[in-house]
Amino acid sequence: MKNKVSTAFVLAAALWTGHALAQNVEVKDAWARATVQGQKASGAFMTLTAKADTTLVGVASSVAGVAQVHEMKMDGNTMQMRALPDGLRLNAGKPVALKPGSFHLMLMDLKVPLQKDTTIPVTLRFKDAKGVESTLDLKVPVSTSAPGGEAAGHQHGMHDAPAKP
Ligand SMILES: [Cu+2]
C-alpha cells in the first residue's frame, strides 16, 4: 500500500517537474478558472521560470477551440486584454507570473465546462533564443481561485462576459 502511494507520487512529480526541467521552463502554481454553465471562455494562470531566455509563443488545449497568450492592462479607465503578438518573453531565472489582471492564458470556445477539482490538458509552446521551438505538456488543476486562496473573483467578468451590444 505504502509502496503504491509513493509510486503514484513519483509519477505525478515526474509529470510536473521532470517534464518541465527537460523543457527548461519550470511551472509553478498552475490553475485554470472553473466555469459556469454556458460560459465559453476562461483563463489559466501559473508562474513560469525559464532556465535560459525563451519566449512563450503559444498555448493549446484540447478543451478549448482557441487558446492564446493574453495580457490585461488599463487603457484609460478600462481594463483591456489582448493577445501578445510576439509572445511572452521569459528571461533566464526571472519568474513571470501569469495571474488574473495581468498575463494569462486565454481559453476560448470551450468545448466542455471547466469543473472544479478536475484537470485540463494545456500545452505551452516556447521558442528559445536560437529560434528553436519546444512544447511543454501540463495537467492544469481547475479551481475557483488561485492556489493559496487568493480571492480573484472580481476578474471573473473579464473572461466570461460575452460581447454585449
Ligand atoms: Cu484574456
For residue 147, what are the CA distances in angstroms to 33, 79, 89, 115, 152? 11, 24, 24, 16, 11
Query: Cβ-count burial of 94 within 10 angstroms (0-12 exposed, 13-18 middle, 19+ buried)?
Result: exposed
Half-sphere exposure of residue 136, counting CA atoms within 13 Å on the CB side?
29
Per the CB < 8 A criterion, the answer to whether 159 and 42 are in contact is yes
CA of 4 to the centre of ligand 1 (A): 40
CA of 105 to the centre of ligand 1 (A): 7
Residue 84 pLDDT more than 50? yes
Question: 3-state SS of the chain: helix, strand, coil percent to 5?
Answer: 20, 45, 35
CA of 2 to the centre of ligand 1 (A): 43
Residue 115 pLDDT more than 80? yes
Q: What's the pLDDT score for residue 4?
A: 53
CA of 6 to the centre of ligand 1 (A): 38
For residue 94, what are the CA distances in angstroms to 17, 26, 34, 58, 142? 17, 11, 28, 19, 25
Q: For residue 118, give the C-alpha cell.
A: 478536475
Question: DSSP character for 164?
Answer: P
**Mean pLDDT across 154-164:** 46
Q: What's the pLDDT score for residue 165?
A: 52
CA of 133 to the centre of ligand 1 (A): 23
CA of 103 to the centre of ligand 1 (A): 8
Tens of pLDDT, residues 12-61? 544 554 444 446 899 999 999 999 989 999 999 999 999 999 999 999 99
For residue 130, what are the CA distances in angstroms to 53, 124, 127, 133, 155? 10, 18, 8, 9, 36
